[in-house]
Amino acid sequence: MSCPLSSILGKDCGITQRLDCIQRQLHPTAVWEQITTMPPWKVAVVVIVLIAKLPVFLAWLKNWTTSRTAVKFNWPEASPEWKGKVIQNPDLFAHERDASLLPAGADTKAQYLTCYDPSTGSHIETIRLENEAEILARLQKAWAAQPSLAASSFAQRRRFLTSLKAWILAHMSDIVAVAVRDTGKTRVDAVFGEILTTLAKIDWLISDGEAALAPSKRKRTLLLAHKNSEVVYEPLGLVAALVSWNYSFHNALGPILAAIFSGNAIVVKGSEQVAWSSRWFIGAVRACLSATGFDPELVQLAICLPGLAEKCITTNPDVRHITFIGSEPVGKLVAKAAAQNLTPTCIELGVSISSGLADDQVPRSRQQEFIDLLLPRVRALRLGKDVGSLISHAPIARLEKLIAEAVKQGATLHCGGERAVLPDRPEGAYFTPTLISDVRMDMALATEELFAPVMTVVPYDSVEEAVAWLKKQRFGLGAGVYGGKRADFGVFYLNQSMPFGGVKASGHSRFAGPEGLRSLCNPKALIQDTVFKVRTSIPPALDYPIKNEDKAWGFLHGLVGLGFGGIGGKVKGIFELVRNG
pLDDT confidence band for 448 (50 / 70 / 90): confident
pLDDT at 15 over 70: no
Query: What is the rounded CA–CA span in Å between residue 176 and residue 423?
Result: 25
pLDDT at 227 over 80: yes
Give how far Cα 141 sits from Cα of 135, 156, 299, 302, Å. Answer: 10, 21, 9, 12
Q: Note the pLDDT of residue 1.
A: 44
pLDDT at 490 over 60: no
Query: What is the rounded CA–CA span in Å between residue 17 and residue 15?
Result: 5
Query: What is the rounded CA–CA span in Å between residue 252 and residue 250?
Result: 5
pLDDT confidence band for 287 (50 / 70 / 90): very high
Q: What is the pLDDT of residues 362-401, one digit of tens each?
A: 788 888 999 999 999 999 999 999 999 999 999 999 999 9
pLDDT at 204 over 50: yes
Q: Note the pLDDT of residue 5.
A: 45
Element (H, E) at 459: strand 458-460
User: End-to-end distance of the chain based on CA atoms, in angstroms?
Assistant: 70
What 527-536 contacts at long range (C-beta under 8 Å, 24+ apart), as own/partner pairs, is 527/224, 527/227, 527/228, 527/229, 528/227, 528/228, 529/226, 529/227, 529/228, 530/226, 530/227, 530/228, 531/225, 531/226, 531/227, 532/226, 534/226, 536/226, 536/227
Model confidence, pTM: 0.85
- Is-contact 479 458, C-beta < 8 A? no
Q: What is the pLDDT of residues 32-60, one digit of tens each?
A: 777 777 788 777 877 787 787 777 666 66
Q: φ and ψ at 448, to 5 degrees?
A: -100, 150
Q: Note the pLDDT of residue 482.
A: 65
The mean-pLDDT minimum among 24-33, 323-332, 374-383, 472-481 falls in 24-33
Q: Note the pLDDT of residue 563.
A: 92
Q: Note the pLDDT of residue 203.
A: 96
Q: What is the pLDDT of residues 238-280, one digit of tens each?
A: 999 999 999 999 999 999 999 999 999 999 999 999 999 999 9
Q: What is the pLDDT of residues 492-542, one digit of tens each?
A: 567 888 888 888 888 888 888 999 999 999 999 998 887 666 677 888 999
CB-based burial label for 40 (10 Å; 0-12, 13-18, 19+): exposed
Q: What is the pLDDT of residues 88-118, one digit of tens each?
A: 999 999 999 999 999 999 998 999 999 999 9
pLDDT confidence band for 569 (50 / 70 / 90): very high
> Quick one: average pLDDT of 74-84?
79
pLDDT at 192 over 90: yes
Give percent of the chain with pLDDT exceeding 90. Answer: 67
Q: Crossing angle, helix 250-261 and helix 154-170, to 10 degrees?
A: 160
pLDDT averaged over the chain? Answer: 88
pLDDT at 467 over 90: no
Q: Note the pLDDT of residue 41.
A: 79
Element (H, E) at 330: helix 328-339
pLDDT confidence band for 484 (50 / 70 / 90): low
> Quick one: average pLDDT of 466-472?
81
Q: Note the pLDDT of residue 506.
A: 83
pLDDT confidence band for 342 (50 / 70 / 90): very high
CB-based burial label for 525 (10 Å; 0-12, 13-18, 19+): exposed
pLDDT confidence band for 80 (50 / 70 / 90): low
Q: Which domains does the chain have, with CATH numbers?
A: 5-68 (no CATH), 94-351+517-522 (3.40.605.10), 361-474 (3.40.309.10), 537-580 (no CATH)
Q: Note the pLDDT of residue 60.
A: 62
The mean-pLDDT minimum among 126-135, 412-421, 422-431, 495-504 falls in 495-504
pLDDT at 337 over 80: yes
> Quick one: average pLDDT of 458-464?
87
Q: Note the pLDDT of residue 529.
A: 82
pLDDT confidence band for 221 (50 / 70 / 90): confident
